[in-house]
Amino acid sequence: MPKAAVCREIGSPLEIVDVDLQAPKAGEVRVRLGASGVCHSDLSVTNGTLLSPLPSVLGHEGAGIVEEVGEGVTNLEPGDHVVISWVPQCGECYFCKHGQGELCEPGSAAAMSGGLLDMTSRFSVGGQPLFQMAASGTFSEETVIPAIGAVKIPDDMPLTAAALIGCGVLTGFGAAVNTADIVKGDTVAVVGCGGVGLNVIQGARHAGAERIIAVDMNDGKLQTAQKFGATDLVNASDGDPVAKVQELSGGRGADVAFEVIGLQETIDQTINMARRGGQAVLVGVPKMDVMTTIPAALGFVILEKQVRGCWYGSSNVHQDIPTYARLYTEGKLMLDELISNEITLDGVNDALANMGSGSIARSVIKYS
């Protein structure tokens, strides 16, 4: 009987409880977690920013070892090391066939339902069903997920590093290399330098950006951003960050500007940071009622700016996860450096509470 961290209601601490876990059904696998990152989206469920059915086993950024496979699963077997994708991608629906696996129809429906592909969860406690966040539920010693949501990685890759690929890296690095059109020599601005923002920075560097301007209100986060490839640092609490980005880019603005927070003010600022003909990429997830207030003519049409939404780094997980694992082994992707703390499951509430600290990039739950 695995232990899991359960969110029962908005605003309450997670409860660490023993849960019952069903065996995998057809097309599913049971995974023994090795590690799970504590992501800002987990916090967003607990405070109501992200709408998710409750009570639920939280966690969606994880890696582990396959324990059992359900009927019909042929691409995985017990003993395989895998990264969990919180948008399972079928490869067969309209969006998958059009190169937009992050919008997979059955995978997206599962992620929103609090269950798996059949819209039901495999967790329960005391006979009462528990939802599982984003078809994952990685705040648990074990979980059952769709087989299409488990992507094999090399057995010798540390699971603590691999777990971070499952959300922060796919989202941030993917935003830079998949969603945006960065070309060699570009100037990039990144607004928000938490775990995902740091991956945007190293993705922009990988894509060839020459100047990477990190924007945040926390000096600790800015110093960390510099370690991940930022060439210029802008503290947004010290004057107008839009003017500073324009000053650092010859008065034009950034070729590509990324928003990785999800606030109306920073979304508007990011759009204004992009140069004429440039791109603003919105990565942070705002509350559902947040609106942008940029004038249509001067903001977009006359200046020919593009604003792009970015969901899960526009990632094809079956291609991108193995690629990022390879980049890590080649020393071209910083993952170990993202880990600020290794904690046990009992420390998850403290990790959520400390998420705003400038010294924390990612807390990682390490399972024995």
pLDDT by residue (tens digit) across 102-114? Answer: 999 999 999 999 9
Question: CATH number for the domain including 189?
Answer: 3.40.50.720
| Predicted pLDDT at 299 | 85
Q: Are strands 128-132 and 56-57 parallel, antiparallel or unpaired?
A: parallel
346 and 275 fall within a common domain: no
- The contacts of residue 11 (CB under 8 Å, 6+ apart) are 46, 47, 48
- In percent, the amount of the chain with pLDDT more than 90 equals 93
Q: How far apart are CA 313 and CA 169, in angstroms?
A: 8
230 and 282 fall within a common domain: yes
**Statement: residue 215 has pLDDT above 90:** yes
pLDDT tens figures, 21-66:
999 999 999 999 999 999 999 999 999 888 889 999 999 999 999 9
* Cis bond upstream, residue 286 (ω within 30): no
136 and 236 fall within a common domain: no
| Nearest of 297, 307, 313, 304 to residue 269 by alpha carbon | 307
| Predicted pLDDT at 298 | 83
181 and 231 fall within a common domain: yes
Question: For the chain, what is the mean pLDDT?
Answer: 96
Question: CATH number for the domain including 36?
Answer: 3.90.180.10
Residue 69 lies in a domain: yes
| Nearest of 180, 168, 240, 237 to residue 212 by alpha carbon | 180
pLDDT tens figures, 316-340:
999 999 999 999 999 999 999 999 9
With H, G, I as helix, E, B as strand and everything else as coil, classify residue 115: coil
Residue 330 lies in a domain: no
**Statement: residue 10 has pLDDT above 70:** yes
Q: Are strands 62-69 and 3-7 parallel, antiparallel or unpaired?
A: unpaired
306 and 219 fall within a common domain: yes
pLDDT tens figures, 119-163:
999 999 999 999 999 999 999 999 999 999 999 999 999 999 999
With H, G, I as helix, E, B as strand and everything else as coil, classify residue 100: coil
pLDDT tens figures, 76-100:
999 999 999 999 999 999 999 999 9
pLDDT tens figures, 266-304:
999 999 999 999 999 999 999 889 998 889 988 899 999
Residue 70: CB atoms within 10 Å: 16
103 and 145 fall within a common domain: yes
182 and 290 fall within a common domain: yes
Q: How far apart are CA 93 and CA 111, in angstroms?
A: 16
Residue 155: CB atoms within 10 Å: 9
Task: Return the DSSP state at 88.
Answer: -
147 and 180 fall within a common domain: no
| Nearest of 307, 362, 368, 306 to residue 336 by alpha carbon | 362
- In percent, the amount of the chain with pLDDT more than 70 equals 99
Q: How far apart are CA 91 and CA 75, in angstroms?
A: 14
Average pLDDT score over residue span 362-367? 96
User: Residue 224 sits in which domain range?
Assistant: 175-311
Residue 326 lies in a domain: no
Average pLDDT score over residue span 196-221? 97
| Predicted pLDDT at 194 | 93
Q: Write down the residue that tokens 């059949």 correspond to.
A: 118
| Predicted pLDDT at 306 | 97
Domain count for the chain: 2
Residue 169 lies in a domain: no
Residue 368 pLDDT level (bands cut at 50, 70, 90): confident
User: 85 and 146 in contact (C-beta within 8 Å)?
Assistant: no
Q: Transcribe 164-191 into DSSP letters.
A: HIIIIIHHHHHIIIIIS---TT-EEEEE
Q: How far apart are CA 164 and CA 259, in angstroms?
A: 20
**Statement: residue 359 has pLDDT above 80:** no
Residue 358 pLDDT level (bands cut at 50, 70, 90): low
43 and 136 fall within a common domain: yes
- The contacts of residue 236 (CB under 8 Å, 6+ apart) are 191, 215, 216, 217, 269
| Predicted pLDDT at 49 | 86
Residue 272 lies in a domain: yes
Residue 125 lies in a domain: yes
| Nearest of 227, 234, 166, 235 to residue 202 by alpha carbon | 227
Residue 302 lies in a domain: yes
Per-residue tokens: 103: 């919008």
Residue 170 lies in a domain: no
**Statement: residue 357 has pLDDT above 70:** no
8 and 65 fall within a common domain: yes
35 and 133 fall within a common domain: yes
139 and 212 fall within a common domain: no
